[in-house]
Amino acid sequence: MNPAVSTLRAILNPRSVAVIGASGDPAKFGGRVMHFLVKHGYRGRIVPVHPSATAVLGIPAVSKLAAAGDPVDVCILALPAAHLPAALEDCGRAGARGAVVITADFAETGAAGAARQDELLQIARSHGMRLIGPNCLGFINPPLQLALTSSVALAVEPMPRGAIGLASQSGSLMASLISHAQDLGTGFSVAATVGNQADVELCDLVEYFIEDENTRAICLYIEGLKNGARFLELAQRARAAGKPILAVKAGRSAAGQQVTQSHTASLAGSYAVWEAACRDHAVCLLDDPEALIYCADFLIRFGAPAASSIAVMSPSGGTVAVTGDRVVAAGLALAEPGAATAAELQKLLPPGRTINPLDVGGLPRASGLDSALTAYELLAKDPAVGAILIAVATTPQLEDKVRQWGRAALAGNKPTAILLTPGTLVDGARDALKEIHCPYTNRLDDTLRVLRSAVDYGEALRNPPPPASSSTISSNITAAVLAHATTLPEGRLTEPETKTLLRAGGIHTTDDVLAPTPAAAIEQAQGIGYPVVLKGVCRTLVHKSEAGAVKLNIADADALRTAWREIETRLAAHLPGATLTGCVVQPMIRDGTELIVGCRWDAQFGPVVIIGSGGVLVEILDDVQMAVAPISSAHAHRLITGLRIAPVLAGVRGRPAADVAALADTIAKLSVLAAALGPRLVELDINPLLVRDSGAGVIALDARATLMASAT
Amino acid sequence: MNPAVSTLRAILNPRSVAVIGASGDPAKFGGRVMHFLVKHGYRGRIVPVHPSATAVLGIPAVSKLAAAGDPVDVCILALPAAHLPAALEDCGRAGARGAVVITADFAETGAAGAARQDELLQIARSHGMRLIGPNCLGFINPPLQLALTSSVALAVEPMPRGAIGLASQSGSLMASLISHAQDLGTGFSVAATVGNQADVELCDLVEYFIEDENTRAICLYIEGLKNGARFLELAQRARAAGKPILAVKAGRSAAGQQVTQSHTASLAGSYAVWEAACRDHAVCLLDDPEALIYCADFLIRFGAPAASSIAVMSPSGGTVAVTGDRVVAAGLALAEPGAATAAELQKLLPPGRTINPLDVGGLPRASGLDSALTAYELLAKDPAVGAILIAVATTPQLEDKVRQWGRAALAGNKPTAILLTPGTLVDGARDALKEIHCPYTNRLDDTLRVLRSAVDYGEALRNPPPPASSSTISSNITAAVLAHATTLPEGRLTEPETKTLLRAGGIHTTDDVLAPTPAAAIEQAQGIGYPVVLKGVCRTLVHKSEAGAVKLNIADADALRTAWREIETRLAAHLPGATLTGCVVQPMIRDGTELIVGCRWDAQFGPVVIIGSGGVLVEILDDVQMAVAPISSAHAHRLITGLRIAPVLAGVRGRPAADVAALADTIAKLSVLAAALGPRLVELDINPLLVRDSGAGVIALDARATLMASAT
């Protein structure tokens, strides 16, 4: 085991805890912490630290931690910020292995707070002590009956114990999830908050959970990661360990990003990159914190579905219709049960009913209850059915039926999501399911999230995992790109410069050579053959078309001279003082589909490669796919397949198919180029990349990039 | 009042009820009905009808209804289907005004069941008696403490009384909604099921609710309407009466449609047409039945927001971030509070916090509680804020704060959706809100549905209502279209025939004249000027391009002759035995944006006009807008604005704007044409309609239609 993890394990599973600022008053932080420690029955040693009291809640107190004898495993501190450094110093001197700092008003409030936070971190490091927080709410370890938190969620007993490992950047979200887990009859191995992540960060907890035998699924509330690459490596390990990771990532919108930056001082990163990285690494990215519990509980009980299609059944015709509609609207496929299953089901059904979704209302009775259980079992044994959704509605003998369905679900091998559509009217059925530890949901939105995440996780597991970064990098391309980059200037590259970089990376471009004068351009045009394209080159010009610096369909030398003059005139008007370095001459090529292909440096995950529809489609389609670079050609092919324009590339209505193989190869090469240059390549766009008919390849018609000085 | 409505009013508000098949055994339908009648304290006369018992549950019984003295207002029948006709006949003879038939196995099971249902209807009509059902679960009238239903949802007391009128085609969905209304502390004026709608249908109940003074919002679960036009008329009346209609329509997917057809024998109709009709008539179409209650309750308490932007506040930073993200993802706008509001808020906030979404955690205290209430009131009085979402998370003194927020919401004039994110942990806060009758939700999905429907309803009210059908019809166009249609054959029309119909409707097309021979075509081509397009005309050929019957860019007479021969050869191979009637010659026109414009006869709503992106975009975009015809040019303009391709039509990146005025005019004219021909015009497609630059108009390049014999 990683030594950092074993320290964290000791802190999360302590034999002794100290409460700095202990109090008997539950209105105070230190009072709630003491109350919860005692109330939930923690059996380790508790050391209240208080300047004057001799005991807190009947437990002997000390005025300085050093007076407590043997060092404690973890201290919790909820003191005013001004008193924290000295108190933390005391903890370190007394040999504590870790400290949990509840106090807020650090990096989340700006630069001064960040400096105060750094001071805490230096104190902790000087004593070899791990720091959780600041600006967090501590953690709970239900197997140890340990609540080391001031959260009011712990007012309710018992603490929810189970197989979910939760790490949250928000304290009150942890509290809300503790409440929901209690209500659903599920719970946690450990639930921990990390606040500003000054030291212990989400990834440390993920690593702990991967190695912790009490944990079978990992749930995360993330505002920002300290190290995206580490997260993806851990996702690979969790996948190999058979432990699903489920995550909610705040900061999807600009508004959410602003909040997370003020909330726990995190860099949010692009949500689209998050989606791509999670999809490729079998991490279930959810939009709702409470759904973490539903989805994790389902995967823990049932595992991932072996097939992706869903069967729906309900004793209510109306509920069957609405649920069938919503399953389809959620992008899930309704299963088509085999002929044998259908024939058996038909025997149970009145005329006119469909097989899926299946109305099991008013079926004939067998041994006291209707035949809905038989119908369930027929669906469950059909391999075309990946998972079953039972939408429970009011029906006679409801509780008995629900108990039967729940037992059959747990005993069988078919993931089954039970939805209880009525309210407290059917709390008897809820209790019956809790009694047998069968997961259920109360709103169809959550049932669909459960099925969607389980199906996606199953599909991700059936795909090969992404190869380790280094193995896909072509060392030839990397060497060529790095060597060529030394010849390029810093900052914004011109179109011909960017194309030289692309060619160094093995990507096909037009063979642009800068023509410094009209005469040189005319000579080039004669070599290429009219009609040609003439484009102005100017380092400070970003949008060439808008500035009138692109002239198409030039028929002869006279027209070229005119075009050159126009470019000069328009540039002067558009960017006063800018210098026209010259022009490039290109052949007129229009036969193909225009895409945009590019790469960016992402603050969380590093190099990212991006493809999307180009031309007029950019204006009306949000048709973009991306992946953390580098990627293989096969991976690039999956991205292409995910584009909305994919049917056009594949050839529709008698059009020829495009050269998708060459496109995938180009995307993979660009991803290697991006990975090779790392943070130096801020961004690079090929726009358009023309994809020609199958066999005819692709060609970069225009490109631009921004290259920074290499880090030294 | 409409006399049919006054009869229905008497049935839904009866002074006396008879239970045919009464029983004391709650395991039987007639037993549950009796138990619920007695248990909920109905104060009218109850007449149990039983072949032999002298009393049921202590209430004197009769063996025949005729023996009961004064006629009853309504009978409820839950007998085996074989006994129903005689029993219904008895009810009619005894002078009952209405009958509720619970028994199933009628039209929903096929033709034989439909015949049995028709027999019931004839019996009821012969006695002037209204029939509710069959295959329904009756109704409740909470102000009268009347439960006339066998639904187990009535096992819970008290019946939820309130201002929501509910009409449902599904019995068990009504039961589920009764349960949820109880849990939320809201309820119904009347909640009724209509089952197979043999006589009383959803629209009858809508009309009743519009006139009923206890009802302030109308909720519907719809599988299919008997008369779509009546529904839209009633929607106009409900709008004028200030009573929002909220509806869930099953059958959105093919799977859901199949179920609804077997479930209550309803014709589902196209969901897209439903969406368009509801949008244009201020009906809130929801995807989830339970949400009907949340959304109706919210509109009853707060009315529609005066502005469409949302402010979000929460005492949890994590919840603020996630909620802000989800508000944006739901397509709702975050409000930008005015400078004065922002300045006042800044005084309350620690540094670095955003104004919206707003984290009100840890604010300074005023009179015992923190300043979150002050923040709420600042947002509430800002006119830029249309509605406020308060996401409640665990925080000290939660109940007191929630009660304060709820009171402020009810006292103020700003619609406020309160979300309680934790589970039973905060049931104290739930009880506090129920006590003051303040609506709340438990899942963000529902909060967003509440805000979305309220904002949409507010926006619909700010648009002018659609004009009454007749007023938009141009009588000139109608007369011309009807006259011309008499000259056309029945069935599939050829391209030139369809274009003559379009021109009769005032729509600009190419001037095609059928050329029966190559020589005739060459003469036409010389008149038009080369290059031309040559298209084969054949009544039985649907897809001309796929059959090779469209030849573009024909440069001269020789090329035309060759093209003609190829069309003949390809047609013979594609459709053996088909006859080439001739060809049409058209100029090569390509300068514009291709749209598809058409109309259809919809089973629920009649004539529908449709526009969408054409050309290659059809393959990759689901870019369609529609409306029930006829519509005005202004309405057509709103449809165009709703297309994804709208920015292209408006002119992007220096392209000229398209002639949107001419496009809107053409759509409106086509809608008049569709309304004039009614069900005779099964479908008509203009594909493509070329939209040229502003001022240059539009032109139908190709078209086809199917025309049926006129109804006589």
Quick one: closest CA in B to A184, which residue?
Answer: B423
Q: How far apart are CA A153 and CA A191, in angstroms?
A: 12
Mean pLDDT throughout B643-649? 91
Provide the pLDDT for residue A603: 84
Provide the pLDDT for residue A397: 86
Is pLDDT of B451 > 90? yes
Q: How far apart are CA A147 and CA A192, in angstroms?
A: 10
Is pLDDT of B641 > 70? yes
In DSSP terms, which residues pair with A460 in a beta bridge?
none
Report DSSP state, residue A330: T
Place of tokens 């851990």: A234
Q: Which burial class, exposed, middle or buried, applies to B158 when counting CB atoms under 10 A from its CB (0-12, 13-18, 19+)?
A: exposed
In DSSP terms, which residues pair with B310 in a beta bridge?
B334, B387
Cβ contact (<8 Å) for A616 and B262? no
Q: Read off the pLDDT of residues B194-204 as tens digits, 9 standing for 90 and up.
A: 999 999 999 99
Cβ contact (<8 Å) for A172 and B319? yes
Mutate to test the interface with B, among A259, A355, A426 (most CBs of B within 10 A): A259
Q: Read off the pLDDT of residues A579-610 as tens digits, 9 standing for 90 and up.
A: 899 999 999 987 889 999 999 999 889 999 99
Maximum distance among all alpha carbons in chain A?
Answer: 99
The secondary structure of A72-115, three-state, reads: CCEEEECCCHHHHHHHHHHHHHCCCCEEEECCCCCHHHCHHHHH
Q: Read off the pLDDT of residues B114-132 as tens digits, 9 standing for 90 and up.
A: 999 999 999 999 999 999 9
- What totals of helices (H) and strands (E) does chain A contain, helices first? 25, 32
Give the residue from A242, A142, A238, A239 showing the smallest Cα distance to A192: A142
Q: Read off the pLDDT of residues B533-592 as tens digits, 9 standing for 90 and up.
A: 999 999 888 788 878 899 999 999 999 999 999 999 999 888 888 889 999 999 998 788
Q: Which of A258, A395, A619 has the CB atom closest to B648's CB atom? A: A619
Provide the pLDDT for residue A526: 94
Provide the pLDDT for residue A268: 46
Q: pTM score > 0.90 for this model?
A: yes
The strand pair at B606-613 and B624-628 is best described as: antiparallel
Give the residue from A426, A437, A441 showing the smallest Cα distance to A185: A437
Q: How close is the nearest chain A Cα to the Cα of B702, in Å? A: 17
Provide the pLDDT for residue B712: 46
Q: How close is the nearest chain A Cα to the Cα of B351, in Å? A: 6
Q: Which of A173, A350, A424 has the CB atom closest to B316's CB atom? A: A173
Q: Which of B152, B423, B426 has the CB atom closest to A396's CB atom? A: B152
User: How high is the mean pLDDT of chain B?
Assistant: 92
Q: How far apart are CA B217 and CA B166, in angstroms?
A: 9
Provide the pLDDT for residue A528: 93
Q: How far apart are CA B549 and CA B580, in angstroms?
A: 10
B513-533 burial: b if 16+ Cβ within 10 Å, else e: ebbeebeebbebbeebeeebb
Cβ contact (<8 Å) for A351 and B252? no
In DSSP terms, which residues pair with B389 in a beta bridge?
B312, B417
Provide the pLDDT for residue B621: 77
- Residues of chain A in contact with residue B253, where contact means CB-CB under 8 angstroms, are 324-325, 327-329
CB atoms within 10 A of CB B427: 14
Going from the C-alpha of A680 to that of each of A230, A476, A486, A503, A629, the distances in angstroms are: 20, 19, 11, 18, 14
Query: What radius of gyration, in Å, describes the C-alpha atoms of chain B?
Result: 31
Q: Read off the pLDDT of residues B374-402 as tens digits, 9 standing for 90 and up.
A: 999 999 999 999 999 999 998 888 999 99
Q: How close is the nearest chain A Cα to the Cα of B634, in Å? A: 23
DSSP string across A473-515 = --HHHHHHHHHHHTTSPSEEEPHHHHHHHHHHTT--B-----B
Cβ contact (<8 Å) for A173 and B315? no
Quick one: closest CA in A to B359, which residue?
Answer: A259
Q: How close is the nearest chain B Cα to the Cα of A316, in Å? A: 6
SS3 A353: coil
Q: Read off the pLDDT of residues B489-520 as tens digits, 9 standing for 90 and up.
A: 999 999 999 999 999 999 999 998 899 999 99
B122's enclosing H/E stretch is helix B111-126
SS3 B148: strand
Q: Which of B256, B324, B648 has the CB atom closest to A620's CB atom? A: B648
Q: How close is the nearest chain A Cα to the Cα of B322, in Å? A: 5
A385, two tokens:
């059915």
Q: How far apart are CA B73 and CA A604, in angstroms?
A: 71
Q: Read off the pLDDT of residues B49-98 as tens digits, 9 standing for 90 and up.
A: 999 999 999 999 999 999 999 999 999 998 998 999 999 999 999 999 99
Could you tell me if A278 and A285 are in contact, meaning their C-beta atoms sit under 8 angstroms apart?
yes
Q: How far apart are CA B252 and CA B272, in angstroms?
A: 8
Interface A-B, measured as beta-carbon pairs within 8 A, has a size of 317
Q: How far apart are CA B345 and CA A281, in angstroms?
A: 42
Q: Which of B251, B424, B619 has the CB atom closest to A183's CB atom? A: B424
3-state DSSP percent of chain A in helix, strand and coil, to 5: 45, 20, 35
Cβ contact (<8 Å) for B425 and A322? no
Place of tokens 């093995």: A506
Q: How close is the nearest chain A Cα to the Cα of B212, in Å? A: 27
What end-to-end distance do the CA atoms of chain A give, in Å? Answer: 34
Is pLDDT of B601 > 80? yes
Contacts 24+ apart (CB under 8 A), B34-37: B34/B59, B36/B147, B36/B149, B36/B150, B36/B154, B37/B146, B37/B147, B37/B148
Strands, E assignment, B181-330: 188-193, 217-222, 245-249, 283-286, 309-314
Provide the pLDDT for residue B469: 55
Backbone φ and ψ of B25, nearest 5°: -95, 110
Angle among Cα A649, A653, A658 to the nearest 5 degrees reads 20
Torsion region of A92: left, alpha or beta (phi above 0 gives left; psi -120 to 50 gives alpha):
alpha
Is pLDDT of B338 > 50? yes
Q: Read off the pLDDT of residues A52-69 as tens digits, 9 standing for 90 and up.
A: 999 999 999 999 999 998
In DSSP terms, which residues pair with A172 in a beta bridge?
none
Report DSSP state, residue A351: T
- Residues of chain A in contact with residue B275, where contact means CB-CB under 8 angstroms, are none
Residues in chain A with pLDDT < 70? 1, 260-269, 467-473, 619, 653-654, 710-712
Strands, E assignment, B399-445: 416-420, 440-441
Is pLDDT of B268 > 50? no
Place of tokens 């009978």: B75
Task: Give alpha helix (H) positions in B505-645.
Answer: 518-528, 557-574, 617-620, 633-641
- Residues of chain A in contact with residue B644, where contact means CB-CB under 8 angstroms, are 620-621
| HSE-CB for B220 with a 13 A CA cutoff | 26
DSSP string across A10-38 = HHHS-SEEEEET--S-TTSHHHHHHHHHH
| HSE-CB for A321 with a 13 A CA cutoff | 29
Q: How far apart are CA A37 and CA A146, in angstroms?
A: 6
- Residues of chain B in contact with residue A445, where contact means CB-CB under 8 angstroms, are 288, 443, 445
Is pLDDT of B364 > 50? yes
